[in-house]
Structure 1
Amino acid sequence: MTESAEPTHQSGTRSRKRLGYGEGREALLKAAVRVVGRQGLRHLTYRAVAEEAGVTHGLVVHHFGSRDALIEESLAYAVRVSLSSSLLEPGTGRPEDFVSGLADMVEDDADGQAYQYELLLEARRRPELLAQVRALYDEYFGASQRELARILPGDASPAFNRLVFAALDGLVLHQLTGIGDRADTEAALAELRSLLRTLGERAQDNRD
């Protein structure tokens, strides 16, 4: 089953696409994430998403039916994508591998990262979104907790895990907004890995 959009020949207007149902839905979710990441949640409209995706306004309405549904489904999509590319759990237990590539991720997926912060703030105003936002962060906390337990067997408390994750979250936000830059992120991560390495060696000495 396909949903077609009428082509347009007006000068300067983005050409419309013919998309399969599944392909069209994902393309619209990606477009919604880009719109929110670049312009903020208040600019998330059917027309903005349609323009970003290069399809008709009616196709967005067909797929989602309401702006609330578009917000909720784009959040669920962002959660899936973010977790599939999470750098929190390389699985090696080596401090040098922990969140390797974080600065690259911020540069390569700036819209996706900004989208998550926008929805985090929106959940403060719209409690119905809080469950999905919490689910996202619970997954993040779980991944970092498991990796820290490999680095610091027996010494990675939930409170320490939350402290580490809060530092990482802050670094992402700072690089994303320009408060810090890539070099600042890398330097801070080097300090964090050095701390984890020292704590791991100390824990190993105490066990011996």
Structure 2
Amino acid sequence: MTEPAGRRPRKRVTYGAGREALLDAAVRVVGRGGLRRLTYRAVAEEAGVTHGLVVHHFGTRDALIEAALTHAIRSSLSSSDLEPGTGKPEDFSLGLTEMVDSGPDLQAFQYELLLESRRRPELLSHLRALYDEYFAATRRELTQMLPGPVDEGLSRMVFATLEGLVLHQLVFGEREVVEDALDELRNVLRLLARAREGH
């Protein structure tokens, strides 16, 4: 059977890979057009499948949003090197600029949902729970990097710096400027580690 002119051919998608492909498609739809563009049909069109498959996997639009948010944050955590596990400042967030360049829709999706949560407070609890993963990963890495206890204020400040740099690169480009800022952040962390070792 041939597809009508102007339509993308539909892909055959298996259950496991299909769910992830649908989440990637949802992230791209929102990243490019905002949350108001997120419909079963838009996700199906982006993924090259029937909209019934989207309904089958997620049931409701809210379930799709929640699953896509979890997927986006876990993807960002794994690609950013936020937590390389080495405890060395020079390894901290080495993949950050590449993460933005290779997945701008993934980052835009998260910012879209953050802003949308101001209008839809029911999203806030999901965002808080998932952002807690970012905060915890930052704190764990800083704990390996710095002698002594790492309080929540320090880990939030470092994460806020990283998030601001991601937003800057996403909007303005300027990867080199962001790389320089990350180098400065790593230098600050080295100095802090030395200062703590001296006490």
TM norm structure 1? 0.88
Q: CA deviation at 1:51?
A: 0.8
Runs of at least 5 residues in structure 2 that lack an aligned partner in the other structure: none
2:93 maps to which of 95, 99, 104: 99
Q: CA deviation at 1:86?
A: 4.4
Q: Greater Rg, structure 1 or structure 2? A: 1
Task: Say whether residues 1:181 and 2:174 are aligned partners.
Answer: yes
Runs of at least 5 residues in structure 1 that lack an aligned partner in the other structure: 1-6
Determine the C-alpha separation between the residues in 2 that align with 1:123 and 1:148. 29
For the residue of structure 2 that corresponds to 1:70, the secondary structure is helix
- 1:116-151 Cα offsets, whole Å, 9 max, x none, are 111111222222222221122111111111111222
Question: What residue is the counterpart of 2:49 in the other structure?
Answer: 55
4+ aligned runs moved over 6 Å, structure 1? none
Determine what percentage of the aligned residue pairs are the same residue.
65
Question: What residue is the counterpart of 1:36 in the other structure?
Answer: 30
1:45–1:105 Cα change, 3 Å: same
Deviates more, 1:22-31 or 1:185-194: 22-31
Number of aligned positions between the proteins: 199
Question: What residue is the counterpart of 1:12 in the other structure?
Answer: 6
Determine the C-alpha separation between the residues in 2 that align with 1:85 and 1:21. 24
Deviates more, 1:46-55 or 1:86-95: 86-95
1:62–1:151 Cα change, 3 Å: closer
1:102–1:80 Cα change, 3 Å: closer
Question: What residue is the counterpart of 1:166 in the other structure?
Answer: 160
Task: Say whether residues 1:121 and 2:115 are aligned partners.
Answer: yes
Contact 1:175–1:181, Cα closer than 8 Å, also in 2: yes
1:82 maps to which of 73, 76, 79: 76
Letter in 2 for 1:163: M
- 1:143-167 Cα offsets, whole Å, 9 max, x none, are 1111112222115322111111111
Q: CA RMSD in A?
A: 1.7
